[in-house]
Structure 1
Amino acid sequence: MSSSPYRRPPITEAVVELRLADPIGIDEVEKIRDRLTGDYPVPPQLLQNISFTAGPGDQNNRAQVEFAGYRLSSADAINVAIIGPQNVSASRLAPYSGWEEFIAYARRNWAVWRKVAGWREVSRIGVRYINRIDVPNPDERPVPIDDYLVFRPVFPEFEGWQSVESFAINGAMDIANSPFKLILNAGSTPSPLIRTVSFLLDIDISQQGNLPRSDDDLWALIDQIRLHKNRIFEASITDLSRELFSS
């Protein structure tokens, strides 16, 4: 059962990621991949980073391919894991079933990582929630942004002013009285629904450096990030948005 206060939470993807200070070997990544097949039985997708080195002539241009890890997926494609030499993450796609179920996957992934790779210094932890606010618009009229989002652009008034077709804004800041940093994005986004206007609200909170060495303390810190995420989400939306999620 979902722990969300809303009947239809607007979450399209939730992510918890841990990054390491130093990489592990490819063979260790493959062992982790194999031990996670119970939760992620779909054949893994190889991830690679490709970079190009330019020479004086076209024939001297070279592509360098670097192993980046694997993308793992559950049979229903809702739960996803990314494992690489310096990162391990868990993602939950819509429909979101609540923090408790989601974080259980993330903790199992990390436990397998620890068992294979041993103790490694964690350099960054992060929690990201991508939300899509779908506003029914049967008459296909302009939808005021500030009816649904508090975090929004302010436009000047000028002759010929009509309606905003699209927008994107970004803010990065420290969260007061905490070690966390916030990246907050809002914008218009194409809607997969007919006669609907959709807004994006992307909340990304992280801490880099000065992280605990014990797993219990790490996960307690991640739970603190989640509480900040909830507070920021509620501060960023209006009552009209809440009505959409509750109906």
Structure 2
Amino acid sequence: MADIRKLARAPIREAVVEIRVPRLENPNALEILETLARDLGFEQVLQGFRFSADFSFGPLGLKGDDPREVPHGFKAVSDDHIIDLDLDAVRVIRLEPYSNWEELEGLVRQTWATYREALNPEKVVRIGVRYVNMIRIYPGGEVKDSFLGLPDAPPPWPQRVSSFLFRQTLHEDDIAVNVTHAMVDDVDEDRVGIVFDIDAFTQCELDPSSDTIWGTLAALRDLKNRIFFSGLTDAVIAEYE
């Protein structure tokens, strides 16, 4: 069992908690979302858009209009947080430097209560916890000396790696988790950066006021932590303590 503990210098680039609902049908929903976003008092409020297009079948096959931007919500942005209030979701994003789970969960609870009371969503259909970590290793080192759970190149293959992207989707009971490793080259001059992205989520049908939401978040966080601490060698983890 991995030794899960708080790291003094956790390598978290961003931590995301999402609570998703069926698309709101309230004709005033966008106006309400803008008011909620501005009431947060953050430095910026930005309107969010999604692309939409209409498709139909005709004599020549599938025909579609040019994609168009459709308003979908508002983002409140500060130096260390983004709160995304959408027609179908609440997302609370903590940027680096990461503080702690209690601070993040508290903000999620506060934001969700405000969203729920103002817009009365029908139900909660998806809950997710995603942590994007940036692990720095020295050039020329073996990736397997830092990470556990990655595939090895067979000996006949060249062994020097300059980039890679590896993703797997794992399941535990009703929870799924996407675990992604990707090498990047924009970290610093002395080290190579490897993104260690853990995205745990579950589909559900919950009452918006149910305490099960918070128990589910705790279970997702627990799985995320187990994957993080068992997916890195002790030597790497020690650098962030």
Q: Decide: shared fold, TM above 0.5.
A: yes
Aligned twin of 1:157: 155
What percent identity do the matched residue pairs reach?
26
Give the partner amino acid of 1:197: V
**Aligned with 1:110 (options 106, 109, 112):** 112
Give the partner amino acid of 1:30: E
Unaligned regions of 5+ residues in structure 1, if any? none
User: What are the Cα deviations for residues 136-184 of structure 1, in whole angstroms up to 9, with x where unaligned?
Assistant: x3xxx4121011110223112226x241001111111211xx3211111
After TM superposition, the score normalised by the length of structure 1 is 0.85
Give the partner amino acid of 1:18: I
C-alpha displacement of 1:52: 5.2
Aligned twin of 1:88: 90
Aligned twin of 1:146: 144
Unaligned regions of 5+ residues in structure 2, if any? none
SS at match of 1:155: coil
| 1:70 maps onto 2:67 in alignment | no
Aligned twin of 1:174: 171
**Alpha-carbon separation, structure 1, partners of 2:17 and 2:225:** 15
| 1:217 maps onto 2:212 in alignment | yes
Alignment CA distance shift 1:41-1:203 (3 Å): same
Aligned partners of 2:186 and 2:193 also within 8 Å: yes
Which protein has the bigger strand share? Answer: 2
| 1:129 maps onto 2:127 in alignment | no
RMSD over aligned Cα, in angstroms?
Answer: 2.4
Alignment CA distance shift 1:191-1:153 (3 Å): farther
Aligned twin of 1:7: 8
Aligned twin of 2:31: 30
C-alpha displacement of 1:213: 5.2
**Alpha-carbon separation, structure 1, partners of 2:5 and 2:168:** 25
Matches within 5 A, 1:200-239: 200-211=195-206, 214-239=209-234
**Alpha-carbon separation, structure 2, partners of 1:234 and 1:42:** 35
Aligned partners of 2:18 and 2:128 also within 8 Å: yes
SS at match of 2:149: coil
**Alpha-carbon separation, structure 1, partners of 2:105 and 2:30:** 21
Aligned partners of 2:116 and 2:208 also within 8 Å: no
Give the partner amino acid of 1:123: V
SS at match of 1:82: strand
Aligned twin of 2:18: 17
C-alpha displacement of 1:35: 2.8
Aligned twin of 1:241: 236
- The worse-fitting range, judged by mean Cα deviation, of 28-37 and 143-152 is 28-37
Alignment CA distance shift 1:24-1:148 (3 Å): farther
